[in-house]
Every structure is written in C-alpha cells, then in structure tokens.
C-alpha cells in the first residue's frame, strides 16, 4: 500500500491549489479526480459563463454604439459562441493537463495524480476506483474538495434539454426564442444579462422578492433591473412558482403573485438557477462520523472537520462559493496541516464580481448590512459621468460607493462599484480593508490619468473635504453623507467633516 503525507479528493480549483501548495512544501501528495481536472471552475461554470458574458457584452456594446446605422448587418451566430466557449475551455483544460504531466516529471517524488473515484475506508485509507483497476492508499491527512453541482427542484424535471441548469447551457445549439430563468440571484442575473445582451431571446426572470439581488443595496439593483427592462426582460416580481412542466416540447409555468393573481406562460426553454448543492455522496464521510450542517456542508473550523486529520475546502466548506475563496481555503488547509502558518482565513474582505450590465464589483459590507448591525458610518458616492476615462469610453453609466467608519481614522468598511472596469477598480480598497488602514494613503496616491480608478481617489478626497467636485453643488452626480443613529446627515452640514 502506497503511503502519502496528503491525499486530496477532488481536482477542482480548491483541490488543485491545495496540491500545488503541498508541492511547495515538498510534501508527498496524491491528487484524485474522478472526472475532469479543473472541475466546475472550467467546465459548466465560471470559465464558460464568463466567456459567454464577454462575448455578449462586446456584441451588445458594439451594436449599441453603432445603432444609428454606420455599420449594418452585424451578427453573431450561436455556433460562433459555442466555438469560442469550447476554445476557452480547451485552452485552460490543456494548460492544466500539460502542467500536471510536466509536474510529475519534475517532482514525481512529491506529486502523484490519479484519475478515479476516491472513497474513505478509514480516516487514513482511501480506495480509488479507476477504469480497469482498484488502488488502496494510506495518507496521514485527507482534504475533501469535491465541489458542488446545480441545485434542482424536486417537482421540476431538469432534463438539460428543455429545462436546464447551468450544466445544460452548453447543450444549446441555437438562441432560444424565449427562456424563463428561475432565481434572481447572481447566477440567474448573469444569464439574464447574457441572453438579453444577444437580443435574440425573450427573457423572463422569476423573482420571489420585490427586487433582484436581494442581498445588495437598492441603488445597485435598480441600475441592473432598469437595464434588463430596457432590453425587454420581463421581471416577475413578488412571484411564487406554482408549477413548471414540459408541454408539447416547450415549458409551461404558472406563477402566483402576492396580490393573489395567477399567470400561465409558455416559453421555449427554462433555466433553473436556485443555488448549488455539495457533492458529498459516495465518499464514506458519514460512515466515519464526519459531521454535516443541515444544508449538507461539512462542519469545519478553519478547514478542519470534526475528524482531526480530515480537512474540507471549496464549496463543501459552507463559506463563500467562489473560485478564489476555494483556492485560498486549499492553500490554508495545507499550511495548517503541516504547521506552516497560523494565519486564519478572513472572509470579510473577499472581493467579488457580478457579471451583469453593467458589471458590479464588491468588497466588504454594503449599506444594508451596516444598518442591520446598527453601525454609524460615512459614505461617499461618485458618478461615472464625472470620470474622464468613462467619458472617453462613452460608458458613463455607473458609480463608486465607499463606506468608512464614522471617526477620524475613516477605515474602509466596504465598497461597491458598478460600471465599466468595476472589477479592476476595487483591489486597492480591498487591500486597505485587509490591512485595517484608513483612506489617507490611497487618497494621496497619484493615480494614472485618464483611468476609471481616478473616481476612487475623488471619492476619498470628498470624505477628506478636499475634492475637486463638491457634493453640495453636484447633487445629482455626487453624494457624501454621514449615517448616525438612523439619521442621514449631509457632510456639508458638518462644520468640519474630517473632525466630526
């Protein structure tokens, strides 16, 4: 029986990152993947959907910019979309496969890769079922990184042809004439953005709340929802899905609204976007006594499960289900196992991107969360139409919003960016949050001109009462106020905004 310092079950982003960190520390590691190396991070997940989003956004913006007739007959076939997505997947998949092969040649003493299904027989013994043989290995430590899959609804048959999950989007051969998307969270809104950008599909979005993206501030969600409706998207607000079934090869669904009204609609396709469930079946974990939450995630303390040598990372951990977070957890688990670092993961300053129209980036808390925690804070909001680069790009829709502590230090609590280059604009602020720093350093930094991130500098200068544009003058473009004991106080009403 071969022995390893570490066995990792699952070769998605978190498992792969864990294996590479083990190689860094020169530990003998076995990585086991039953299906495709890279997992949902490459296949039917982040890479595929974001490639589609990039295509749809470029197509939409190009058509919009030249809508007055300078350029005619611009079209993008669904075959071209599928071809580009396939090329992106192939590039990344091949990159990882070649990396594994070369890694085994260079560091074969430390790194082993097996394609097969791993099951824990004991807390140290793993049975790996391959195509033509069975292996049994011993490992001092185990990391479980088997990821998740789209959640299905018990009373709705997802055949991945007519009623789809995100796993079935790749099976589409043409633009649907119409599609209903169940779930107005991030993924549902991303696919609403993609299909509405292409302009070939009538999109319906079912939202059980009174506004999409219910975890975000209304000023963010209002911009996104308005753009959906401008493109013809029908948002079913305050709607409960009573039934959905396939009738004569199409999807028929029935809604009930809060006022008691019901509605029956027929569309060509449906997409279920109601979250994901962890892949925990067939691993032997329950038999060993590993504890689970009610939602099926593995109970853990800083990646360590209730069995001391078994760790969990990625979507199974029950924290934020993002590739970057999973990779961070993978590295952290390895460092903890081998006593390399005692620095715990901080989830409060995780940067996220929502691929919408326009794109949204976030770090730290939003206003809604701050008020739920009864925090006093200061807030500044700077419209894209005041940023020279946005004007040059002719993309002036959006804003920066930064929230700081209500004291002289003005440490950043959170930031939201919505607009062009939003995803590239939040990193400096995320760094300040992680360093527990105030805003002075970033406000005084010379930012490149012209650039979108100059808007961040202007935000911070407004808080320091030394901005070029004054909020009390440009009221429709700029906001700067203090939230204190439930009351909003415009900053110009304070005798000295820095000292009060």
The structural domains of the chain, with segments of one domain joined by +, span: 2-149+277-337, 163-274, 358-493
Mean pLDDT calculated for residue range 250-276: 96
The mean pLDDT of 14-20, rounded to a whole number, is 97
pLDDT at 31 over 80: yes
* Averaged pLDDT score across all residues of the chain: 92
Fold of 358-493: Enolase-like; domain 1 (3.30.390)
Of the two residues 188 and 491, the one the predictor is more confident about is: 188
Q: What is the pLDDT of residue 495?
A: 43
Domains 2-149+277-337 and 358-493 alike in fold: no
Angle at 36 (CA atoms; ends 84, 154), nearest 5 degrees: 90
Smallest CA-to-CA distance from 182 within 46, 275, 321 is with 275
CB–CB of 256/271 below 8 Å?
no
User: Span 88-101, mean pLDDT?
Assistant: 95
The pair of structure tokens assigned to 370 is 């701050």
Dump pLDDT digits (tens) for 371-400: 999 999 999 999 999 999 999 998 999 999
From edge to edge, which strands make up the β-sheet containing 262-267? 239-247, 250-257, 262-267
* Residues 51/88, Cβ–Cβ less than 8 Å: yes
Q: How far is CA 30 from the centre of its chain?
A: 29
Instruction: Please provide the size of the chain in residues.
Output: 500
H or E segment and range at residue 420: none
2-149+277-337 CATH: 3.50.50.60
Please give the structure tokens belonging to residue 47: 């890479």
Quick check: pTM over 0.85? yes
Check whether 67 has a pLDDT greater than 80: no
Of 172-181, 201-210, 474-483, the range with the lowest mean pLDDT is 474-483
Sequence-separated (6 or more) residues with CB below 8 Å from residue 101: none
- In the chain, DSSP finds a helix count (H) and a strand count (E) of 12, 24
The DSSP letter of residue 404 is E
Reading the block at residue 303, the tokens are: 């990646």
Which of 34-43, 102-111, 219-228, 287-296 is predicted with the least confidence, judged by mean pLDDT?
34-43
The bridge status of strand 2-9 relative to strand 29-33 is: parallel
CA distance 404 to 198: 39
CATH 3.50.50.60: does it fit domain 163-274?
yes
At residue 427, the pLDDT reads: 86
Determine the Cα angle at 149 with ends 143 and 155, to 5°: 140
Q: How many CB atoms lie within 10 A of CB 211?
A: 16
Q: What percent of the chain has pLDDT over 70?
A: 97
* Cα distance between residue 350 and residue 429, in whole Å: 11
User: Exposed/middle/buried for 367, CB within 10 Å: 0-12, 13-18, 19+?
Assistant: buried
pLDDT reading at 267 higher than 90: yes
Q: Which two tokens stand for residue 493?
A: 């009403």
Task: Please answer whether residues 417 and 387 qualify as being in contact, where contact means their C-beta atoms are separated by less than 8 angstroms.
Answer: no
């Amino acid at each position: 029986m071969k022995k390893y310092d570490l066995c990792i079950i699952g070769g998605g982003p978190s498992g792969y990152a864990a294996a590479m960190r083990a190689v860094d520390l020169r530990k003998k590691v076995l990585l086991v993947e039953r299906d495709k190396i890279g997992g949902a991070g490459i296949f039917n997940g982040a890479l595929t959907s974001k490639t589609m989003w990039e295509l749809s956004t470029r197509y939409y913006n190009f058509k919009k910019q030249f809508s007055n007739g300078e350029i005619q007959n611009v079209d993008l076939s669904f075959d071209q979309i599928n071809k580009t997505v396939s090329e992106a997947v192939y590039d990344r998949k091949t990159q990882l496969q070649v990396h594994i092969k070369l890694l085994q040649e260079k560091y074969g003493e430390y790194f082993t890769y097996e394609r097969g299904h791993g099951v824990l027989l004991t807390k140290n013994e793993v049975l790996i079922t391959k195509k033509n043989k069975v292996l049994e290995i011993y490992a001092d430590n185990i990391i479980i990184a088997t990821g998740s899959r789209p959640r299905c609804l018990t009373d709705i048959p997802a055949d991945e042809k007519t009623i789809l999950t995100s796993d079935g989007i790749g099976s589409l051969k043409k633009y649907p004439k119409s599609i209903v998307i169940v779930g107005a969270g991030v993924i549902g809104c991303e696919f609403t953005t993609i299909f509405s950008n292409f302009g070939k599909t009538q999109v319906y979005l079912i939202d059980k709340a009174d506004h999409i993206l219910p975890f975000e501030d209304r000023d963010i969600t209002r911009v996104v929802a308005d753009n959906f409706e401008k493109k013809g998207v029908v948002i079913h607000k305050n709607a409960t899905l009573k039934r959905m079934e396939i009738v004569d090869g199409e999807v028929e669904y029935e809604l009930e609204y809060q006022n008691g009204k019901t509605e029956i609609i027929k569309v060509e396709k449906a997409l279920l976007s109601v979250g994901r469930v962890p892949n925990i079946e067939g691993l032997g974990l329950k038999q060993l006594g590993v504890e689970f939450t009610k939602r099926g995630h593995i109970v853990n303390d800083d990646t360590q499960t209730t069995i001391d040598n078994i760790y969990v990372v990625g979507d199974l951990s029950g924290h934020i289900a993002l590739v970057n977070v999973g990779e961070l957890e993978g590295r952290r688990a390895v460092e903890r196992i081998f006593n390399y670092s005692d620095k715990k993961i901080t989830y409060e300053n995780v940067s996220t991107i929502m691929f919408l129209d326009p794109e949204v980036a976030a770090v730290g808390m939003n206003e809604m969360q701050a008020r739920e925690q009864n925090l006093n804070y200061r807030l500044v909001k700077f419209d894209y139409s005041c940023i020279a680069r946005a004007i040059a790009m002719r993309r002036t829709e959006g804003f920066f919003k930064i929230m700081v502590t209500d004291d002289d230090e003005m440490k950043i609590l959170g930031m939201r960016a919505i607009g062009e280059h939003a995803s590239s604009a939040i990193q400096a602020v995320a760094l300040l949050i992680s360093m527990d720093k105030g805003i002075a350093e970033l406000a005084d930094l010379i930012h490149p001109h012209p650039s979108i991130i100059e808007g961040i500098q202007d935000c911070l200068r407004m808080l320091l009462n030394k901005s070029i544009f004054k909020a009390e003058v440009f009221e429709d473009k700029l906001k700067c106020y203090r939230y204190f004991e439930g009351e909003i106080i415009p900053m110009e009403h304070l005798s000295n905004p820095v000292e009060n």
